[in-house]
Structures are given as C-alpha cells and as structure tokens.
Chains A and B, each alone.
Chain A
Amino acid sequence: MKILIKNGHIIDPSQGLDGMGDIFIENGKIKEINMKRKAHDAKRKELLKSSVRTIDAGGLFVMPGLIDMHVHLREPGFEYKETIKTGTGAAVHGGFTTVCCMPNTYPVHDNASVTEFIIRRAAEEGSCTVLPIGAITKGQKGEELAEMGTMVKEGCIAFSDDGSPVMNSLIMRRALEYSRTFEVPIISHCEDITLTDGGVVNEGLMSVTLGLKGIPAESEEIMIYRDIALAELTGARLHVAHVSTEGSVQLIRDAKNRGVRVTAETCPHYFSLTEDAVSGYDTNAKVNPPLRTDIDRQAIKEGLRDGTIDVIATDHAPHHADEKLREFDMAPSGISGLETALGLSLGLVHEGVLTLKELIEKMSLRPARILGLDDKGLKVGSVADIVIVDLNREWKVDPGEFVSKGRNTPFNGWILKGMAAVTISKGRIYEQ
C-alpha cells in the first residue's frame, strides 16, 4: 500500500525536520520525505497518477509515532482487564505506535517463554509495536534474578519489577550489575513498602481528613536515593518509573548533575491532578504512587521543563469496572491512560511549559534513545510509525469511547485540547 501525507507541518527534532512537506510511504516504510515545495509538486502529480491513499494533513502536525515506555497490557492472565489486542488498539487511538508492557502478568513475565508469547501475540493481533519488559526477579518476588539474558535474546528491551519494588538492596545491586552485560535499563518502581505500610493515598491533610492510610513522599524518595546510589556504584543504567514528588525530582536532578546514568519518567496524572481528586473516595483517582500535592505537581512540571524528567509515560493500568466499584482501600490502583495521555500532555504545550518539539522528545525520541531503538523517527527507510496531531481540536473525555477495556479514568468529562487525528502504525492507518 502507498500512502501520501500531504500539506502537513512535519516535525521531528531528531532529524532536524520542522516545516511544511510531504511524506510518502510504501510497503509500511517511509519511502520519501520531501520538504521542498517545487520538487514535491512534480512528485505529487506523478504519485497521484498511481493508486495512492492520500491523507491531507493541512493545518496538522506530522510527527514520529509516540512511544510509551510504561503500560500494562494484562495479557497473559488478566484478559478481563485488557488484552494485547485492546491495549494496542487503545495505543494507536491515543497516538502511540510503540508500547512497552510491564511484566506483572499471570504468569509473571520472568522467562523467555512469556516474552515469546507476548511478541507472537502482538504480531498476530497488535495494532502497534509491543516491546516487552521482563521481570528483574523471578515471580517479581525480589529474591532471585530472572534470566535476563535469555529474555533479551527473545526480545525484552528492559527489566522492571514494577508494582512490587525490589526491597533487598543486594539483589537490586546485582540486578543493576548484571544488566550491564546487555546494556538494558533497569526500570525501578521506587517505593519503600515497609514505609508505605498499606497506605492508599498521599500522606497529608487529605489522608487524615479522609481517614485513609497515607503514603509519605519519603516512601518514594528513599528508594530513589537508594537506586541512584546503586546506579552510581555499579555504573548501570537506571530508569526511574512514575516520578511523583518534588523531592524525587530534586534527587534525580542532583544525580544527573553528578553524571549518574539515570533517566526518569512521569505520567500525565502527576502533572494534571493533585490528591484533591481522591476526595469523595473516587477509586478512579487511586493510583500508585498516589496523586500528591500542588507543590509536587508544579515540581514535576519544572522537572519536565528543565529536562530532569526525560519521558512522559502513561502507566496505563486498565481495570475492570467491578474492581473499582468498591471500598476505596480495597480497589486496585491504576488509571487507564493511553487515550488521554496526548491530550493532557499537549496541555503542557498550550500552557507554555514545553514546546511542541520538547513534547515530541518526551513522548517519542527520549524513550527510543533510553531503550536503544535506533530505527525510530521520521527518516527514509524507517518503519512508518507516524502520528498526525491536531493541536487545537477540543474534545471531551468519554471513557465509553475508549478502545481500552479499562474505563477507569479520573478525567471523565474533561475538555482537552489537542488529539491524534490519524495514527499510522507499521504503515497501517488508524483514523479518529
């Protein structure tokens, strides 16, 4: 199939592209990028003679497909929450062309047979590229290292015990050391669970007022500090998942200034919401780490602005409606985030926190670089993973329209400005 994207504003900081132009796609790959007006008029005429699907991107931005480093696709084991098919469907609906899935499935993705299963399933049913993240330890129990090397061979691109932090510092040290063999990042869910002690919301006046057990910011910060220290000790690549507090941003900023190999991500809910969202015991706003205070929210934005935080990831965590329709402290944590992430993040561009180029870096280029994906970006010969963004279209979040099975969102009814108008993933077109 041949596709011509014409009249769009092509923008890809990694390739130095920023201007009007056409992109021609053939057999799922980018065949030609033409930024010169005259040449492409002639070329266009020639193309239009053959059978070409033309997408008019007039008034829109054409950029590299978004890459989400942190999603939960739930398959295998929790198909009632999400499947690889529905999760990747949600991804392309939200403008993502690559997602990295966390290993807390059932069975846990701690061995190469699960890696193989996920990759095969994604090839059969997935709308976008799926890159699996394997468990650091067997069963995510924090006791014994999982077979990283075997999983890397099968296609794992990073390791994480997301959801159940590696509490034993020696095991974490060994994991970081061992990961150097394969030059893959260790993605750390930083939480001292002894300090969390069953907490369910941010510790503060809100937790006291609601009578819910609080999780102090220090629960996250102590572990970030530990992992930074271990990254420094081992020289390994540490990526800190879902940063939520002011103190965490400062710890990572200081570490980067010292030259530690650390990168970090945050999620749209940490710069869009505060703990106020849980008042009224809204289980859709229950997430781990918990929503924090406005001081934290502002610090996250500053961290994104000054580059301390490299990546915006969704931590897409779909759950079944019945699981959220229950007692607050027994409801599972998580937000179904793939289909609101771009709209919320474009808010940062409209607010002036980030430029559009910087946003593309946070949502596509930096994740690619951290994960060692060299073939990403708008360049001739690359897989056609492209998102065409309408920066100004206003739309209302309606979970009923999600492709994801998870309708658990605290953003129901929000008016967002900006969306993915068209996503092209592996050369296939998904339109709104």
Chain B
Amino acid sequence: MLKTKDLLGIKELSGEEINLILDTAAGFKDVLGRDIKKVPTLRGKTAVNLFFEPSTRTRTSFELAAKRLSTDVINFSVPTSSVVKGESLIDTALTVQALGADLIIIRHSSAGVPHFLSKNLRASIINAGDGTNEHPTQALLDAFTIKEKKGGIEGLTVAIVGDIAHSRVAKSNIYCLTKLGAKVRLIGPPTLIPKQIEEMPVAVFHSMEEGLKGVDILIMLRIQMERQGKGFFPSIEEYSKNWGITSERLAHAQRDVLVMHPGPMNRGIEITSEIADGPRSVILEQVTNGIAVRMAVMYLLAGVRRS
C-alpha cells in the first residue's frame, strides 16, 4: 500500500513503494496483452487530466490507462478552460474536485503545484510533470522497462544524457534508480548540469566518451530548441556534435546496452535514427509500459481503501 493519497514525486516514495507500483504494473501489463484490454477495477471512479502545459503523449497515456480501468476520464486543458478568463489555479482545482474527481492528474509549468493541490484538496493528486521538479510516472515506466529487460535494477549503471538542469524526467529518474540500487551518471555540458546536483549520489561527466564507458542503460533526454541563444550552448549543431548519441559513441557502452528516450525525440540532434530504430532501442516499449504503470498508480491510489 502507498503511504499517501497522492503521487507527488519519486522523492517522496520509499524503495518498497516503488517496487509495489512496478509489481502491480506487471499485472496490468498482462491485461494490456489480452484481446479485451479492459478491467472493471475502477468503475464508478472519475479521473481528470488537468493539464496546464501542452502534452499529447502523457495525457493520452493517462487517459488510456484510466479507460482500461473503466474509470470515467475527462480532459481539462488550458486553452479550453476558464484559466484564460483569469481564474486562479486553486479555484480551477476546487471546481474540478467539486465536479466529482477522485483522481486529479496534474501537469503544470510551476514546480510544486501538485504539492500545493495535495494540501488543499481531498482528491488524489498524480503529478504528470511539474516544472523542473519531477515527472514520477515517467521514471516509474523507465524503471519498469529496465526491470523487464534486465531482470533487475540493482547494480546496473545508468547514464542520463542532456539537459539535466531543466529536466524533471532526469530528476525523477535519479531518485528512482538510486533508490532501486542502480549507479547513476549524468552527462552533458556544465551549463546544463547544476553544480549542486553532485551532492546527490550521482557521478557527473562532461564527455560522452568517458561517461558512456561500460554503461548498461542509456537515457537520452530531449534537447529543447528554446535553450539555443540563451547561453547554455552556442548552437544545436555544436550540442549535437558533442552530446548526441551515435553508433560510434554507443560502442563505449556495454554490448547489451538499452537505449531509452522519454520522447518526443529530435532525430538527428540528440539521437540518430540508426540508434532510435536500432536493436538496442526500447523507446516504443517505454510507451506501452507507460500505460501499465499509470494503471498501477491509479489503482493503488483510488482502488485500494486506505485506513
């Protein structure tokens, strides 16, 4: 059982709770492989996708996960909402709760919004990405994918490459993988890796060749085009030349390395098509596993009666 009514971040979870979610997800993955991919587990519950940032992938994944659990699901996104009329976040959230939401899946550009809602609402809050803080279900689906492919996580070396400073995926992955016993490396230019992150149990590399040596798992992050011209790196081309993953570079990793990417990818920039579509890539499996993991989270928050 999870200790709280919400999934705010991996930071707040114990290793046991993470494993409970991953084990529960394994059961739901079986469901997804069936001809009829739906269970009545959460019939009568209502989930609301409350997205203040554009997202298709994550929102669709949550929506599908809810539907597979027979939950009524509503999408509430900024352009169609009353936010544009000047409504405050708390009023919007209280309105959604008053509509009968049991689960509120929130994405917002400000870090801490899920925590803020958690304190002020009875509904269960699921963090679907808050600013540069966390994206816990992404880390959970990454861990699920690694566990499925490698049999376990403890002792593996995982490299996360790219814009660590602005990546909630990287942060959640650091917490998740270290709690499960993996060794985590961060690779990227110093402008995109905050100095203080070295106080976490991670090893920082600025050279791809060095950082990739012997890694079992490689997580490539999407590089945001908006970072160009802000002094983080001189140009996308130069970034790509130094920190993009190519076949030559991948040769430094273990032969059975898994290449992951949370999507959407910039082909030819942080990752070549040869690798994205190659035998080491598990990128599309991540997407499939995302549904199972999100089903598990919703089930554990809304389907289990807590004392």
Contact = CB atoms under 8 A, between A and B. Distances in A.
B88 A211 contact: no
A325 B111 contact: no
A328 B111 contact: yes
A233 interface: no
A281 B110 CA distance: 11
Interface in B220-274: none
Contacts of B115: 280-281
B281 interface: no
A211 B111 contact: yes
B112 interface: yes
A401 interface: no
B284 interface: no
Contacts of A208: 171, 194, 196-197, 200
Contacts, number: 60
B216 interface: no
B132 A211 contact: yes
A203 to B, nearest CB: 7
Contact of B108 (A204, A205, A327): A327
B112 A211 contact: yes
Contacts of A211: 111-112, 130-134, 168, 171
Given A211-B132, A212-B131, A328 B171 contact: no
Interface residues of B, number: 24
Nearest to B108: A327
A330 interface: yes
B14 to A, nearest CB: 17
B297 to A, nearest CB: 20
Contacts of A213: 132
Given A281-B112, A327-B89, A203 B131 contact: no
Interface string B80-94: 000000001110000
B143 interface: no
Interface in A181-225: 203-205, 207-214
B178 to A, nearest CB: 13
Contact of A328 (B90, B112, B197): B112
A116 interface: no
Contacts of B194: 207-208, 214
B111 A329 contact: yes
Contacts of A328: 110-112, 116
B199 A329 contact: no
A326 interface: yes
Contacts of B5: none
Contacts of A326: 88-90, 116
Nearest to A213: B132
Contacts of B130: 211
Given A204-B196, A211-B131, A322-B88, A327 B11 contact: no
B105 interface: no
A325 B92 CA distance: 13
Interface centre among B111, B194, B199 (most CB of A within 10 A): B111
Given A211-B111, A211-B133, A211-B134, A327 B116 contact: yes
B112 A212 contact: yes
A326 B199 CA distance: 30
A322 to B, nearest CB: 7
Nearest to B172: A211
A355 to B, nearest CB: 38
Interface string B200-222: 10000000000000000000000
Contact of B111 (A203, A204, A212, A322): A212
Nearest to B132: A211
Interface in B97-130: 108, 110-113, 115-116, 120, 130
Nearest to B197: A208
Contacts of B199: 205
Contact of A325 (B90, B197, B200): B90
Given A281-B115, A325-B90, A328-B116, A210 B133 contact: yes
A330 B197 contact: no
A211 B130 CA distance: 8
Contacts of B110: 327-330
Given A211-B133, A211-B171, A327 B196 contact: no
Contacts of B112: 210-212, 281, 327-328
Interface of A: 203-205, 207-214, 280-281, 322, 325-330
23 contacts: A204-B196, A205-B197, A207-B194, A208-B171, A208-B194, A208-B197, A209-B11, A211-B111, A211-B130, A211-B131, A211-B134, A212-B112, A212-B131, A281-B111, A281-B112, A325-B88, A327-B110, A327-B113, A328-B112, A328-B116, A329-B110, A329-B111, A330-B110
Given A211-B112, A212-B133, A327-B108, 11 more contacts: A209-B11, A210-B112, A210-B133, A211-B131, A211-B134, A211-B168, A214-B194, A325-B120, A328-B111, A328-B116, A329-B110
Q: List the 8 closest pairs (A to B, CB-CB), nearest first.
A: A211-B133, A281-B112, A211-B111, A327-B110, A211-B132, A205-B196, A328-B112, A205-B199
